[in-house]
C-alpha cells in the first residue's frame, strides 16, 4: 500500500469505530495521530532499506510484530500515566492497521495468508526489485502502480487500495475533514495578522 492508502484504510476502520462507540466523528488530534501511526512503519523501514541498505527489504524492524507489540505496549503504559490515552489509542490503531494493510495485499496476491511482512527477522519478505536510492525506488514502484491503474489491470490488491482511497475519502468528507484543521488553523491565524 502507498502511504495515502494506509492512511485511508486506517481512517475507514477508525472512523467507523468512533461513530459506533462514541456516536461522533473522530477528533482532529486523533486523526493526525492515526495518520502518523499509519505511515510511520514505512517512514522508518523503507529509507533504511532502500537508501541506506541496512535491510534487504522495506519490511523490517518497524514492521516486525516482535518489535512493534512490545514498543506499543510500553507507549500505552507511558500514555496511561500521563493521561494521554486517546491520542495513543489512535496512533496505535493506525500503526497496527498499517501492518494489517501490508499483510492483506501480500495474502490476496498469493491467495494464502502471508505474514512475512510482519515477521522480521524470522521471515524476510522478498526484496522488491525497484533498484537505486529511496527516491528512485519510490519512483519505480509508483510508475508500476500507475501503469496498473491506467491499463485497468485491476487485481484484488489494486481493488483493496482503490477501495480504501475512495471509501476513505468519502467518509473523511462526510466526517467534515477531521485532522485538516490542525494544519490549516495556524495558516488562518497568520492571515489575520
Determine the pLDDT at residue 179: 96
Determine the pLDDT at residue 11: 98
Does pTM top 0.85 for this prediction? yes
pLDDT confidence bin for 129, thresholds 50/70/90: low
Determine the pLDDT at residue 28: 96
List the chain domain ranges: 3-192
Instruction: Please check whether residue 102 is in contact with residue 18, taking contact to mean a CB–CB distance below 8 angstroms.
Output: no
CA distance 61 to 55: 9
> 155-193, pLDDT tens digit by residue?
888 888 899 999 999 999 999 999 999 998 888 888 877
Q: How many helices (H) and strands (E) does the chain have?
A: 7, 0
Q: Pick 112 or 38 by higher pLDDT.
A: 38
Amino acid at each position: 500500500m502507498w502511504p495515502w492508502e494506509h492512511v485511508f484504510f486506517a481512517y475507514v476502520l477508525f472512523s467507523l469505530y468512533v461513530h459506533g462507540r462514541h456516536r461522533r466523528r473522530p477528533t482532529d488530534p486523533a486523526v493526525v495521530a492515526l495518520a502518523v501511526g499509519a505511515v510511520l512503519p514505512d517512514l522508518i523501514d523503507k529509507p533504511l532499506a532502500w537508501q541506506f541498505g541496512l535491510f534487504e527489504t522495506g519490511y523490517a524492524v518497524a514492521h516486525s510484530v516482535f518489535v512493534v507489540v512490545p514498543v506499543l505496549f510500553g507507549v500505552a503504559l507511558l500514555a496511561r500515566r500521563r493521561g494521554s490515552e486517546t491520542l495513543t489509542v489512535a496512533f496505535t490503531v493506525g500503526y497496527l492497521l498499517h501492518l494489517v494493510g501490508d499483510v492483506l495485499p501480500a495474502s490476496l496476491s498469493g491467495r494464502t495468508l502471508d505474514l512475512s511482512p510482519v515477521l522480521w527477522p524470522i521471515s524476510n519478505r522478498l526484496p522488491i526489485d525497484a533498484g537505486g536510492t529511496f527516491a528512485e525506488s519510490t519512483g519505480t514502484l509508483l510508475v508500476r502502480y500507475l501503469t496498473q491503474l491506467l491499463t485497468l489491470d485491476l487485481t484484488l490488491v489494486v481493488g483493496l487500495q482503490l477501495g480504501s482511497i475512495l471509501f476513505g475519502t468519502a467518509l473523511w468528507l462526510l466526517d467534515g475533514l477531521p485532522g485538516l484543521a490542525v494544519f490549516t488553523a495556524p495558516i488562518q491565524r497568520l492571515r489575520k495578522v
